[in-house]
Amino acid sequence: MNDSNGKLWIAIAAASGAIAVAAGAFGAHGFDPATVAGARARDWLQTGSHYEIVHALAMLAVVLLSAQGRIGGKLTGAAQWLFLIGSVLFPGSLYALAFGGPRWFGAVAPFGGTAFILGWLALALAALSARR
């Protein structure tokens, strides 16, 4: 991963982390947990923010491992992209539901979860195939 590409992924991870914190904070303070709808919205935001922050950190870890020369290649890039796609689809669909989006957003979440799983598998294969 070249330096400018690494900087881009750091910026993407940082933006994702910021979104996760904002969503989690809004979930903690923006809905009335005494109502069923408020409790459900809060849970969706907390779950989405948890998965998003974990994968923002994963994107940063991939940048660091790549910069150290521990991993690299197409599988590393695939892991980055899959983490990003997962972060848009899984938490994004939960955020949409929390803010009153149509119920079909619930059907999008599994695609994001699948992207997360494939990202972790790509990272594992990148590590196993690393020359170092």
Q: Above 70 in pLDDT, residue 104?
A: yes
Task: Say what percent of the chain tops pLDDT 70.
Answer: 97
Taking the CB of residue 132, how many other CB atoms lie within 10 A of it? 7
* Whether pLDDT at 1 is above 70: no
Q: What is the pLDDT of residues 5-40, one digit of tens each?
A: 889 999 999 999 999 999 999 988 888 777 888 889
pTM of this prediction?
0.92
Q: What is the pLDDT of residue 95?
A: 96
Q: What 3-state class would DSSP assign to 130? A: coil
**Which structure tokens are listed for 78?**
């695939």
Confidence of residue 132 (pLDDT cuts 50, 70, 90): low
Residue 3 token pair: 């330096």
**Whether 71 contacts 62, CB under 8 Å:** yes
pLDDT for 24: 93
**By C-alpha distance, which of 83, 89, 88, 101 is closest to 41?**
101
> 6-15 burial, b for 16+ CB within 10 Å, e for fewer?
beebeebbee
- For residue 43, name the pLDDT band (cuts at 50, 70, 90): very high
